Amino acid sequence: MKRGDSLADPPTAPYASGSRPPDPVGSEGGEPDTLIPGVVSSGPSGIVVDDPTTISGVYALGEVIGRGGMGEVLLAHDRRIGRDVALKRLRTGSPSEDDVARFLREARIQARLDHPAIVPVYELGRDPTGRPYFTMKRLAGVTLAELLVSSAATRQRLLRAFADLCRAVDFAHSRGVVHRDLKPANIVLGEFGDVYVLDWGVARVVGDAAEDVVVTADIDTLEGSAPAGQVLGTPGYMAPEQFHDPDVGRPADVYSLGTILFELLAGEPLHPRGPAATASTFAAGTVVSAAGRRPDRGIPPELDALCVSMLQAKPTPRPTARRCADAIEEYLDGDRDLTKRRAMAIELVWTARTALEHDRRAEAMRAASRALALDPNTDGAAEIVTGLILEPPRDVPREVRELLRAADGDDIIRHARAAIPGYLLIAAMMLIVIWNGVLDWPLVLGIIGTALAMAAAAHQLTRQPHWSFPAWVIYASGNAFIGLLLSRFAGPFTFVPALLTFVTASVITYPVFLERRWLLMGIMLGGLLAPFGLEELGIFRDTWALRDGGFVNYVHGMNVSTSSAVFVVILAGVATLMMAGIQSTRVGRANRLAQHRLVTQAWHLRQLLPATPTPAAVTAPVR
């Protein structure tokens, strides 16, 4: 940042005006430029040629097309050769000696950097009031900052411009010049693919330039720091070391280039605008990855790795500007180093395995996926991705637990809906018993009431599948109690054991009893064996006996003196068999469908990932 500039409001790039029409002013279809107040006549390109306000009678001055902290840039017309130029001069009419020295130093640095991407300086002089000025090529184009905001350019175009930018910065570095204020607003993309680096006002000259560098004795005398309390550069694009010491070297420019590349790749700045940029520059302990911040943009891994290397906190590990340009051009030309990609992929596989050992599944998935993107044939990458997708984690995340709980609820609802008809069928059987003849009305009514209560409980499960553990114990006990009543009704050796077996097999599918199967089986065994113990203790009347080598079953609930009693007993057995068959079919179909879906998903995944050949697959004949 130059003297007087605000940290929150960096100066506008002075040499290009993106809002200006591409055709020269005054040409066919063009409109005259806005002129200085008091000007009434214009020459080529809208520049006044008869106005007395000129410099040495040579440059007719036009409108201001840019302002910075110390200087301003005007459109001017060189009367000698009839061309438009950009003229930069100090804004104040009585500048200090320090301001004049810095201004002249900027002009001399820019003039001696003879490169296509650096605006050429035509002339250096002073106006009649003694203010220094210099003229340079007038540019037509837009700044990189405008293009990044408008998204008008493709990534390919921006990358090629960025490679040219790196070449220009490398050229300056070879001449011993460090820019120190690289940012999108100081980069202009011309209408014909040309790229320009602007604003060398805070550039620094270092003492280790290439042998063929021109003499710089007259431009390194002001080498030094910013005025007290100010920094040189723009926060958000400055290297961390530049905040503490303005006498930085070439790596500081590389960091600034890295912030530009990050913004180009991610579509957003690396650091926030304004005062928060300084804190953000020092906040991150590790370098932010553009691909990590914006995974939706499909950032190539080579470019992401290059950007990360350019944004290293320490200056030493950063690549040179030339290496950055080479890397961008290699990517654009499709010349990707296969050996390097394979090495990067292998390293990422080891990173994924280390993350798996510490149960960092998300990190392992990202590393293995990037390894596959770099080299689909990397050993172990496909297996890691497949395993992570198909195998559940040791510590299930809360979000997954909620999804599993919802899936369990769906299973409970499905089983409960299938159980309701069974309970209603038991109650309906009692109606047939009433038609045949009832011997123990309290017992029959108890069976009907319990069956209806269990049907109501199953219906409640379809609306609220997640019960407390005591409620589930009561639900299981109700099923056992039905078995106890039915054993008193028709004897414990008729259809009751088969019915309790079916009920146990059905209820145990609920998630709470899958984890406590012995509790459920204990409750159901109680319903089966309790009548025998109660009869042995004399509390219940006997329902069976062994006589004359035969087995006698006593029925206390219904009249069995008629032939219809046999029909009722057979019907009860048929109903039990049918209910068991229907319920087991539903459970089996659901399990089969889930298994088929899992196998199909695994097959689809294997089609997306590179196959790992097995000995059988290798030696098998082709048919």
| Active site amino acids | 181
Nearest CA-CA partner of 179 in 234, 116, 101 = 234
Which tokens is 469 given? 């553990």
Q: What is the largest CA-CA distance in the chain?
A: 143
- Best CA proximity match to 9, nearest among 63, 69, 66, 73: 69
Encoded tokens for 48 = 């006044």
Tell the residue number behind the tokens 């294997």, with chain if given. 606
Strands 83-90 and 132-137 come out as: antiparallel
The Cβ of residue 427 has, within 10 Å, a number of other Cβ atoms equal to: 17
**How far is residue 159's CA from residue 21's CA, in Å, rounded to a whole number?**
25
C-alpha to C-alpha distance for 199 and 182, rounded to whole angstroms: 9
Query: Which helix (DSSP H) or strand (DSSP E) does residue 134 occupy?
Result: strand 132-137
Instruction: Let me know: does 385 contact 488? Beta carbons within 8 Å.
Output: no
Q: Where are the beta strands (DSSP E) in 415-563?
A: 544-547, 550-553
Sole residue written with tokens 């209910």: 579
CB 134 within 8 A of CB 125: yes
Using CA atoms, how far apart are residues 559 and 565, in angstroms rounded to an integer? 7
Alpha helices in 437-468 (DSSP H): 441-463
The Cα–Cα gap between 367 and 385 comes to 9
Specify the long-range contacts of residues 282-288, CB closer than 8 Å, at least 24 apart. 282/240, 282/243, 287/311, 287/312, 287/313, 288/262
- Match 């370098």 to its residue by tokens: 287
CB 239 within 8 A of CB 181: no
Give the Cα separation of 29 and 25 in Å (integer). Answer: 9
Amino acid symbol at 379: D
